[in-house]
Structure 1
Amino acid sequence: MKRRETIERAEPATADLAQAFASLDDPHDVVDFLVDLCTPAELEALADRWAVVPLLVQGVPYRSIHEQTGVSVTTVGRVARCLDHGTGGYRAALRRHTAGS
């Protein structure tokens, strides 16, 4: 699915959630929203996936990522598949995150 098509093809509730995230400018507000929105386990899973992204982009092997982060090799593989065959969301977020640092 092409990036521009994803918002149009998303379920209305997903598109609305995306708009809510996009409306938040302050990282503190985003954290507050995430804490309210997600269970601790869900938030941990999201954070784990995000922690894996820069390591995969750097070419770090799956097993090394697992050893460094404690994230399962299965999750590392899932994130890698999204990086290679997904909609580009991880790469877009990483570009903007890196540019803003």
Structure 2
Amino acid sequence: MKRRSPHDESPDDAPLQALSEALAALSQAGEVRAFLEDLCTPAELEAMSDRWRVVPLLLKGVPYREIHDLTQVSVTTIGRVARTLERGAGGYAAAMQRQQSGTAAASH
């Protein structure tokens, strides 16, 4: 990971914006998966998948220790995801809402 100096208060977000737009341009889960597999290392994919796996359990109020027992995701990671759900940019919640509304629409 690149280190930012303390003077880098507002790094140029153009690369992150470009990546976000690339992901948004993909319309099928298979396309997104292929993109992620090309972009990320297996360890990065595992870390992101672990974080995503705990989101619905946290939203249901499942205790951290039980989430760990169910998923084998570390309690530290579970805590970080919980903090992000509370104080993050809202991405987890938006994705979960879209996923749930897509599931609901598909079942009708």
Q: Same fold judged by TM-score > 0.5? A: yes
Q: Percent identity?
A: 56
The structure, 1 or 2, with the larger RCO (C-alpha pairs under 8 Å, 6+ apart) is 1
Q: How many residue pairs end up in the alignment?
A: 93
2:98 partner letter: R
TM superposition shift of 1:10: 6.6
Equivalent residue, structure 2, for 1:99: 101
Equivalent residue, structure 1, for 2:41: 39
Structure ranking higher in helix proportion: 1
Q: Distance in 1 between matches of 2:31 and 2:77?
A: 27
Q: Distance in 2 between matches of 1:67 and 1:98?
A: 25
Give TM-score scaled by structure 2 length. 0.84
User: Mind listing any 5+ residue stretches in structure 2 that lack a counterpart?
Assistant: 1-10, 104-108
Q: Distance in 1 between matches of 2:82 and 2:59?
A: 9
Give TM-score scaled by structure 1 length. 0.89
Q: Which runs of 4+ in 1 moved over 6 A?
A: none
Distance 1:10 1:84, change over 3 A: farther
